Amino acid sequence: MDWKPDRKAKKAIYKQLAEYIENGIADGTFPPDKPLPSERSLAKELNLNRSTVIAAYDEIESNGLIKRNRGSGTTISKDIWGITKKRIPSWNRYVEAGSFLPNLPVTQKIRKEIEEQNLINMASGELSEDLFPIKDLRNITSTRSYAGSIGYDHPQGNRILRETILKHVRDSRRIESSPGSILITSGAQQAIHLVVQCLLKPGDAVAIEEPSYHYSLPIFKSAGLRIFYLPVDNDGINPEDLISLYKKHRIRMIFLNPIFQNPSGTLLNEKRRKSILEISSEHGIPVVEDDPYSLTSFSGEQISSLKSMDVNGNVLYISSLSKIVASGLRIGWIIGPKPVIERLSDAKQQIDFGHASFNQWIANDFLESNEFKHHIKNLVVQLRKRRDQIVSSLSEFLGDQVNFLIPEGGIHIWCEIKKDFNEVQLLEESIKRGVIYVPGSTMGSKKNCVRFTFASANEENIHEGIRRFASALQVI
């Protein structure tokens, strides 16, 4: 065999071997009427571990290309070279060739662990089920007649819902706009994705906060953008940093989550908010304001959005119902200049033909109801209790081993751990003890940080979760 694995390549050796064999099956190097080399002989010939060869065969078998038979070795599936001469494409190669990048491996791991194990979940950035307004939503779905209202709708989203959201942002965020300037999206996430895809091109420089939720999104890299970072201190980003980034890299767009930022929990102070708007209008740089958390203010104070302070039309405003009603509704929105909204909704129509009408009606009826106001009041009380719980549990179990800022809203707390540790090992040890959180490096921290979401577990579980985390930290 003249093939050799490339030991310097990034791709795992078992994957290289799987690809080599798959290609060999496709081009006839491995004929259909002969068994494939045994695991042992292949390992010897290629000077590989037998487990590497087994992993390669496992992968090819999962694609349906080979069969492992007890006694007669590994053979090529009859379906491929049988009477019908069907050929199965080499799916692995397609999977790796797409230009849309996968999630970070650690993000994939966290999702899998949450699905497969019964863990105290302080990783998912959402409310726990008991905080969803299930009863209110059930009342809405059981009383409304959906006759005539669930066909394809306007690509910008249902007109009645757009008007209801405009009233909601006028009352709660002091944002004035019109139905032509808002697009309903599948959560804030889709709004960010549409902005990246439709308004920027490969090579454009963008600025994001560090740490930030946006850091965790491969959609920026998939779009070929050059990403520059604005460090977040206790009052958010520093406008001076923005000026120097702009001078060096001609920043084309700024992505900010100014209020109760994910993950740091910080609030961009008013002076800085003003000066960012000044810089934005002086240089004509659009600001994308991602604002899903502002209604959770624990003090009840209504913090002005950048959009409400923006007199020149520089801000694209994004928000959603995910963090205040239910993440599974997938209702988000973006407000901006009409031509921008029309461009984005044209793209959204190509992608999914507009948002699901059923969810839009539910969202509309809930937002319009008195129950919505009661729900938010109650939610803020509950989130505040959970915030207090996590602060007291961190003090009880970790004391002076951690630094953190007490968030005044939102659902996350960002903890700096004073000692050096191995991030992967700490996550593994924590999972072994039944708790999961988000390691800081996935959100762009250079220091030893972790993000705990305190909305996704109740007070008792928060206390137990931090106890388990502290015990994991002791052993590494």
Q: Helices 39-46 and 50-62 sit at what angle, rounded to 10 degrees?
A: 120
Report the residue number, 155 or 258, with the smaller CB distance to ligand PLP: 258
Q: Minimum CB separation from ligand PLP for residue 450, in Å?
A: 16
Report the residue number, 155 or 263, with the smaller CB distance to ligand PLP: 263
* Residue 327 touching ligand PLP (CB under 6 A): yes
Given a contact cutoff of 8 angstroms between Cβ atoms, the answer to whether 188 and 379 are in contact is no
Report the residue number, 53 or 131, with the smaller CB distance to ligand PLP: 131
Site for ligand PLP in 373-392 (CB under 6 A): none
Q: Minimum CB separation from ligand PLP for residue 239, in Å?
A: 20
Q: Which stretch binds ligand PLP (CB under 6 A): 23-31, 73-81, 320-328, 378-386?
A: 320-328
* Residue 125 touching ligand PLP (CB under 6 A): yes
- Separation of alpha carbons 367 and 321, rounded Å: 10
* Residue 286 touching ligand PLP (CB under 6 A): no
| β-pair partners for 230 | 209
* Tokens 């963090």 sit on residue: 323
CA angle 11, 17, 23 (to 5 degrees): 110
- Separation of alpha carbons 236 and 272, rounded Å: 8
- Separation of alpha carbons 335 and 340, rounded Å: 9
Residue 210 host element (H or E) = strand 205-210
Of 16, 156, 158, 262, the one binding ligand PLP by CB under 6 A: 262
* Residue 124 touching ligand PLP (CB under 6 A): no
Given a contact cutoff of 8 angstroms between Cβ atoms, the answer to whether 211 and 449 are in contact is yes
Report the residue number, 214 or 433, with the smaller CB distance to ligand PLP: 214
Of 74, 297, 320, 364, the one binding ligand PLP by CB under 6 A: 320
**In sequence order, what are the residues at sequence separation of 6 or more whose Cβ sits closer than 8 angstroms to the Cβ of residue 342?**
156
Nearest-CB residue for ligand PLP: 187
Given a contact cutoff of 8 angstroms between Cβ atoms, the answer to whether 114 and 121 are in contact is yes
Task: Dump the DSSP string for 371-403.
Answer: HHHHHHHHHHHHHHHHHHHHHHHHHHHHGGGEE
Site for ligand PLP in 163-222 (CB under 6 A): 187-189, 213
- Separation of alpha carbons 362 and 359, rounded Å: 5
Report the residue number, 213 or 452, with the smaller CB distance to ligand PLP: 213
Extract the tokens encoding 263: 């993950």
Report the residue number, 259 or 415, with the smaller CB distance to ligand PLP: 259
For the chain, give the number of residues: 476
Q: Minimum CB separation from ligand PLP for residue 85, in Å?
A: 46
* Residue 265 touching ligand PLP (CB under 6 A): no
306 phi/psi in degrees, rounded to 5: -60, -40
Of 5, 211, 332, 444, the one binding ligand PLP by CB under 6 A: 332
Site for ligand PLP in 424-443 (CB under 6 A): none
Q: How many residues bind ligand PLP (CB under 6 A)?
A: 13
Report the residue number, 257 or 442, with the smaller CB distance to ligand PLP: 257
Given a contact cutoff of 8 angstroms between Cβ atoms, the answer to whether 419 and 470 are in contact is no
| β-pair partners for 226 | 205
Residue type for position 204: D
* Residue 257 touching ligand PLP (CB under 6 A): yes
Residue 232 host element (H or E) = strand 226-233
Report the residue number, 187 or 336, with the smaller CB distance to ligand PLP: 187
Site for ligand PLP in 21-40 (CB under 6 A): none
* Residue 292 touching ligand PLP (CB under 6 A): yes
Report the residue number, 213 or 454, with the smaller CB distance to ligand PLP: 213
Residue type for position 82: G
Report the residue number, 189 or 389, with the smaller CB distance to ligand PLP: 189
Q: Which residues are at the interface with ligand PLP (CB under 6 A)?
A: 125, 187-189, 213, 257, 262, 290, 292, 320, 322, 327, 332
